[in-house]
Amino acid sequence: MDLQVGLWQKQSMKLAMTQELKQAIEVLQFSSQELASFLEEKAAENPLIELSSANIKLVDSRFSGLSRVKGQKKSQDKNWIEQIPAQTETLPDFLISQLDMKALSNKILKAVQLYARHLDANGYLAISVQEAAKMAAISEEDAEKALGILQSLDPAGIGARSLQECLLIQIKRDPDAPGHAEELISRHFLDFAEKKWRGIAKKLDISLQEIQRVSDYVQTLNPRPGSGFMADRPQYIVPDLLVKNHAGKLELYLVENQVPKLRLNESYASMNPAGDAGVTRYLKEKTQEYYWIRKSIESRKETLLKVGAALLEKQRDFFLYGKGHLKPLTMKEISDDIGMHESTVSRAVREKYMETPFGTFPLKTFFTTALPVRSAGGEEAASSAEVKNEISALISGEDKRKPLSDQAIVTVLNEKGFEISRRTVAKYREQLGIPSSSKRKRYE
Q: Mean pLDDT score of the chain, rounded to an integer?
A: 84
Q: How many residues in the chain?
A: 444
Q: What is the pLDDT of residues 385-405, one digit of tens each?
A: 888 889 999 999 999 999 999
| CA separation for the pair 129, 132 (Å, rounded) | 5
CA-based Rg of the chain, rounded to a whole angstrom? Answer: 32
Residue 312: per-residue pLDDT: 93
pLDDT of residue 26: 86
Three-state DSSP class for residue 437:
helix
Per-residue pLDDT of 254-277, as tens digits, reads: 988 888 888 888 777 677 666 677
- 327 near 383, Cβ under 8 Å? yes
Alpha helices in 80-222 (DSSP H): 91-97, 106-116, 129-136, 140-151, 163-172, 181-187, 189-193, 197-204, 208-218
In this predicted model, which residue has the larger pLDDT, 71 or 199? 199
Nearest to 129 by CA among 116, 148, 143, 117: 143
Between 342-349 and 277-314, two packed helices, what is the crossing angle to 10 degrees? 90
Question: Cα–Cα distance between 115 and 16 in angstroms, integer?
Answer: 59
Q: Which residues contact 351 (CB under 8 A, 6 or more apart)?
A: 29, 30, 31, 34, 362
Poorest-pLDDT segment among 80-89, 96-105, 289-298, 386-395? 80-89
Q: What is the DSSP string of 412-435?
A: HHHHTTB---HHHHHHHHHHTTPP
Q: What is the dihedral of CA 391, 392, 393, 399, to 10 degrees?
A: 90
Of 94, 96, 112, residue with least CA distance to 150? 112
* Dihedral pair phi/psi, residue 275, rounded to 5°: 75, 0
pLDDT, one tens digit per residue, over 32-76 is 888 888 999 988 888 888 887 644 444 333 333 333 333 444 444
d(CA 7, CA 17): 27
Do residues 372 and 419 lie in contact, with contact meaning Cβ atoms separated by under 8 Å?
Answer: yes
Alpha-carbon span 111 to 99, nearest angstrom: 12
Q: What single DSSP character describes residue 384? A: H
Confidence of residue 426 (pLDDT cuts 50, 70, 90): very high
Q: What is the pLDDT of residue 364?
A: 92
Q: Of 347, 345, 349, 346, which is closest to residue 362 (Cα–Cα)?
A: 349
Distance CA 246, CA 319 (A): 11
